[in-house]
Amino acid sequence: MMNDIPLSQASGARALSRRRFLGGALAASAAASSFNAFPVRAEEPPPPAKPAGFTRKLKLGVVGCGGRGSWLAKLFQNHGGYDLFAVADYFQPVADACGDALGVDRARRFSGLSGYQRLMESGVEAVALETPPYFFPEHAKAAVERKLHVYMAKPIAVDATGCLGVEAAAGRATAGGRVFLVDYQLPTDPHNLDVARLIRAGALGKVMALHTHYFAGPFSDPPLTQTIESRLQRLTWCNDVAIGGGYHVNACIHAVDAGLWIAGERPVAALGLSRVGRPQPHGDSHDVFEIVFEFANGILMSHRGKHLSNLLDFDVVCHALGETGNARICYGGKTVLQGSDNHYEGEVGNLYEAGAVRNIAKFYEAVTRENFANETVRRSVDGALATILGREAALRRTRVTWDELLRENRRLEVDLRGLKA
């Protein structure tokens, strides 16, 4: 499986000028419920791309070996601290192709819906979950029950029930001394981190509004077949709300997550509209979105999403508007902060790969140094629930609150009949 659209941009970064108050304290967020806001630890500098040495090799299993899964598996192997021990994919030829590329013993290449179970029983210490997100809650629960460390793609689930299930599994992982990391790339970039710190330190004054957008093309959406087997590869499932969450949850989540990062808390409600714009759609996902999120701290966030082949370049941005300045963080291109007495610019390059490399290194270090803080969990749960909130508000063409979404606790079902067990 492949969750994102790769960028092809010049690497390297530059900072034109920086105010040296990056160490300012992060604003604490109050939360009365069990849903805490993004923790301070989420903005610590990322670890080096490769540790100086390896205390041991981690036996890793990769579940989901399509485009991004096989690509990510190679990055794990390149890191040097992992033994690519087992692979699983619904499609045996896909598992075999990945296994051949990684040198995995043929006896540890599994397929079918239950392939993940056999992989988890094969002797691995950790799993990388790269399937369509409908399967994540089940797979994460099984991995934690087997006391495995978990590296998971985003979004963590397609519905509120799944998000809460992943949160519960991650909580058990933390309590049991296991690492649980969700792979977001945007918040690993040094320039994005710098700008976020400057905003927290007051460089813009009070943040009043956020504008986010995610612009990209669609994925192939062929006619439906008798079973969903044909929807389980080549990102076709992005067109299907129950399997992949739909375009807003699966892709726009990068931009929405960036907005939540700057806001410092989850939204309390969303109001929106959406429509289908791609030609000859067969999946039920909308692909054009206009959504406004409300936050308890008074911030308003407007989000635009489009997933059409209209020659508009791939672009993922969060623009923060403050009382005395403005700032921009992004998935690729320039980060900028313009304040009343400071200015910052940086270049985000090749984040699709660089962010994954950083997270792979961070995962290794957390496991080997027994760091079970698992700070990406809170952010990933809030980000997934926020995009689900936005999706539902847009589909219903009304205002939906966070509390209503949780009270509904609606589970999306997928018909797995006819698939290989």
Tell me what the mean pLDDT of segment 306-322 comes to.
96
When the pLDDT of each residue in the chain is averaged and rounded to a whole number, the result is 89
Q: Give 11's pLDDT tier (boundaries 50, 70, 90).
A: very low
**% of the chain with per-residue pLDDT over 70:** 87
186-354+377-408 is a CATH 3.30.360.10 domain = yes
Q: Give 17's pLDDT tier (boundaries 50, 70, 90).
A: very low
What pLDDT digit, counting tens, does each position of 52-87 carry?
Answer: 567 899 999 999 999 999 999 999 999 999 999 999
Kindly tell me if the per-residue pLDDT of 103 is higher than 90: yes
Tell me what the mean pLDDT of segment 7-26 comes to.
28
pTM for this structure?
0.89
| pLDDT score at 53 | 67
Asked if the domains at 56-182 and 186-354+377-408 fall in one CATH topology, the answer is: no
| pLDDT score at 28 | 27
Name the class of domain 56-182: alpha beta
Tell me what the mean pLDDT of segment 275-296 comes to.
98
Kindly tell me if the per-residue pLDDT of 2 is higher than 90: no
| pLDDT score at 55 | 81
Kindly tell me if the per-residue pLDDT of 29 is higher than 60: no
3-state secondary structure the chain: CCCCCCCCCCCCCCCCCCCCCCCCCCCCCCCCCCCCCCCHHHHCCCCCCCCCCCCCCEEEEEECCCHHHHHHHHHHHHHCCEEEEEEEECCHHHHHHHHHHHCCCHHHEEECCCHHHHHHCCCCCEEEECCCHHHHHHHHHHHHHCCCEEEECCCCCCCHHHHHHHHHHHHHHHHCCCCEEECCCHHHCHHHHHHHHHHHCCCCCCEEEEEEEEEECCCCCCCCCCCHHHHCCCCHHHHCHHHHCHHHHHHHHHHHHHHHHHHCCCEEEEEEEEECCCCCCCCCCCCEEEEEEEECCCCEEEEEEEECCCCCCCEEEEEEEECCCEEEEECCEEEEEECCCCEEEEEECCHHHHHHHHHHHHHHHHHHCCCCCCCHHHHHHHHHHHHHHHHHHHHHCCEEEHHHHHHHCCCCCCCCCCCCC
Q: Pick the range with the lowest mean pLDDT from 27-36, 233-242, 381-390.
A: 27-36
What pLDDT digit, counting tens, does each position of 118-169 carry?
Answer: 999 999 999 999 999 999 999 999 999 999 999 999 999 999 999 999 999 9
Domain spans of the chain, in order of start: 56-182, 186-354+377-408
